[in-house]
Amino acid sequence: MGHQKVGASFEGFVIEQIVSLLRTRDAYFWGTHQGAELDLLVMHRGKRFGFEAKLSESPTVTKSMRIAIENLSLEHLFVVVPGASSFSFDKQIEVVAVTDLPARLARLR
């Protein structure tokens, strides 16, 4: 966990799992010139979903997340964490434990 690339490795793993579970190739990184970023933007069944991978047990809602929701008109934003607990921040942002990801994404299909 102390390696400098562990966060990037977790992010890559999460992105690979999401793309595989949703069976899509309509997946993108999104960023603005002002610095707002979204790890993964997925177009699925005519809706836009955002995903952030956070190597944290207690992630917070960031300004980038709020900007992505507004600018991209996201249906929902998922924050994927390595922990064991899933919960909602609000009606548009949900924290999903990586172990809960298959069941949660199955509801989108």
Structure tokens that stand for 10 in this block? 């977790």
Ordered alpha helix ranges (H), the chain: 6-22, 63-72, 101-106
Amino acid 70: pLDDT = 96
How many other CB atoms are found less than 10 A from the CB of residue 72? Answer: 15
Instruction: Please answer whether residues 27 and 44 qualify as being in contact, where contact means their C-beta atoms are separated by less than 8 angstroms.
Output: no
Provide the 3-class DSSP secondary structure of residue 45.
Answer: coil
Q: Where are the domains of the chain?
A: 6-106
Residues 22, 53, 98: CA angle, nearest 5 degrees: 60
Q: Give the domain 6-106 fold.
A: Trna Endonuclease; Chain: A, domain 1 (3.40.1350)
Question: pLDDT tens digits for 48-106?
Answer: 999 999 998 889 999 999 999 999 999 999 999 998 899 999 999 999 999 999 999 99
pLDDT interval class at 4 (50, 70, 90)? confident
